Every structure is written in structure tokens, then in C-alpha cells.
Amino acid sequence: MKKIIFGLIILTLFNCTTEKETENSNSNTKQIPTENSEKIRILNFGSVHLSMTSDANSSKINLNNPNEVTDLKKLVDKIVEFKPTIICLELEPKNNEYIASTFLKYKKDQTKRLNYSDELNSIGLEVARLSGTERIYGIDSQIGFDYPSLIKIANKNKSDSVFIAKVINNYKRVNVLKLKEQFQIINTKEYKAETFDFYNFLATKHTETGQEGAEEIAKFYERNLKMYSNFNDIEMNKNDRVFILLGATHTAYFDVFIENNETFKLENPSEYTNF
């Protein structure tokens, strides 16, 4: 009888230990992070301005050069592989009807184009035409920004002047490269980080009694936040794939915004400049 009771006690203790180990195993399994398939894929793609622009430093790409046109087509074909369902352009939302009506004409006749910098046509509308998406939206928000005044203030300090010259010379070096090389460089994390840092640097520049740098860069930051707000106004779901085409500096800000939003998953844009 004692042997039977002792056996039951051992069996009970074994079962309790096994259950505890199972609970711990399940608990550990739950802590393993998994990829969220519900996230909306975003290709946040930086572009140079291919025609008219008010930017202080602009690209020198010559689209009359057949080799450049060929590389532009290769770039577009790579982006089409992303299969975007939504395309966002650097135009204000008030232009959405104009974008839609122009795109209807563009699909039949590629000489019918948006009357803005040509990357909106040669990349934005062309990707839309080839991928079959009809959902094209402007997300820009124009705000005045006195960039030259901050350069002038910063140049009064010798070490700041040397740093600015280095940054500007790098911009100039990139701007004279061939199309493929330019797009490859401006879509790297390193380039966008340098640009982001340069604007933060300018935010610290001011006269003895003012805060000009912080005030001007705040305007630019406000513009990007408003653009991000416009972007979030677009109805989208987990099945959408969104292609954002903006100037390289805006993409640097958008990377920060999107990376910290659990709804989205950023694609690596460098994969689409490898052709």
C-alpha cells in the first residue's frame, strides 16, 4: 500500500514538473518576434529633378543623351517590378484632378505630360502606366524656406564655412554624374543621413540675438510633416504597395517617419537602382 501511495506522489510531482516546463516552453515561443505580414510595403524613392527646379543645387542629367534615356527606362522597369498599387508624387493634393486627367491622356499619348519637373512624368506617370495602377496622388505641401540666408550666417564662421564647402562640393560632384550613378548614390542611407545631418547643422546657425537657423529649418520640417500628413490621408490597406517619388532630402525625412510607424514596412530603394 505504501509503495502505491509513494508511486502516486512521484507521478504527481512528475506531471507538475512537465506542465511547468510546457508552460515555460510556450512562454518562450510567444516571445520570438515574427515578421508582420499585415504591414503596407513602401518604396520611398529619392529622385533628382530632371527639369525645372528652384533648388539651390540641381542635377545636370541630359535626357537628350540616348544612353541616359536608356538608363532611365531601365530604372523605370526596375521600379515597375515592385508592382505599386499607389503612387505618390511631389505635387500638392489640390492637383490630384489634374494628375488624374493628365494620366488618362498620357496612357494613350506619352507626349501629354504634367507641367512640372520631368521626373513626375518620366518616372511617376511611366511607372503608373506600365504597372497598371490608377491611384496617383500629390502629397507635397509648399512652404517658403530661406536656405541661402542660413548659408550666409554659417559662412561667417571659418570652420562652419569649411564644412559647408565640403557638403556643397559633394552635391556638385553627385550632380554631374550619369543618371544611374546619381540615383544609386542619393538612395543610399549614407547619402540621406548626410543630407539630414546638414539640415540639422543649419538649424543651429544664428546671429547673436536670433534663432534664424532653428526657425527656418522648422519651416522645412513642417513642410515634411505636412507631406507625411497628406500621405496618411490616402486610403490604403495591407494589400497595397506604395511608391513614393520625392526629392532626396524629403525621402530622408520620410524614412524617419515611416520607419517609426508600425503600419508600414520600408523597402530597400537600392535594390531598384541595381540595373
Task: Give residue-wise pLDDT tens across range 123-180.
Answer: 999 999 999 999 999 999 999 889 899 999 999 999 999 999 999 999 999 999 999 9
Decide if pLDDT at 195 tops 60.
yes
pLDDT category at 22 given cuts 50, 70, 90 is very low
- 121 with 82, same domain: the answer is yes
* Mean pLDDT, residues 58-80 taken together: 92
* pLDDT for 52: 54
* pLDDT for 14: 44
* Mean pLDDT, residues 104-109 taken together: 98
* Mean pLDDT, residues 77-97 taken together: 98
- 60 with 151, same domain: the answer is yes
- 15 with 47, same domain: the answer is no
Asked if 178 contacts 68 with a C-beta cutoff of 8 angstroms, the reply is: yes
- 125 with 24, same domain: the answer is no
* pLDDT for 31: 42
Provide the residue range defining the domain that includes 21: 1-32
- What percent of the chain is modeled with pLDDT above 90? 79
Give the length of the chain: 275
pLDDT category at 24 given cuts 50, 70, 90 is very low
* pLDDT for 208: 94
Whole-Å CA distances, 230 to 25, 43, 122, 234, 263: 45, 17, 23, 7, 16
For all residues of the chain together, what is the average pLDDT?
88
Asked if 250 contacts 53 with a C-beta cutoff of 8 angstroms, the reply is: no
- 10 with 129, same domain: the answer is no
In this predicted model, which residue has the larger pLDDT, 36 or 76? Answer: 76
* pLDDT for 58: 63
Decide if pLDDT at 220 tops 60.
yes
Asked if 48 contacts 186 with a C-beta cutoff of 8 angstroms, the reply is: yes
Decide if pLDDT at 7 tops 50.
no
- What percent of the chain is modeled with pLDDT above 70? 84
Decide if pLDDT at 251 tops 60.
yes
* pLDDT for 172: 93
- 232 with 138, same domain: the answer is yes
- 171 with 98, same domain: the answer is yes
- 18 with 137, same domain: the answer is no
- 148 with 213, same domain: the answer is yes
* pLDDT for 51: 80
- 25 with 72, same domain: the answer is no
Q: In b/e form, how buried is each residue of 187-226, taking b as 16+ CB within 10 angstroms?
A: bbeebbeebbebbebbbebbeeeeebbeebbeebbebbeb
- 63 with 88, same domain: the answer is yes
Helices 189-203 and 248-259: crossing angle in degrees, nearest 10, is 100
* pLDDT for 33: 40
When divided into structural domains, the chain yields a total of 2
112 CB-near residues (< 8 Å, 6+ apart): 102, 105, 106
* Mean pLDDT, residues 34-38 taken together: 61
* pLDDT for 244: 98
- 58 with 82, same domain: the answer is yes
* pLDDT for 238: 95
Give the phi and the psi of residue 181 in degrees, each rounded to 5: -65, -40
pTM to 2 decimals?
Answer: 0.84
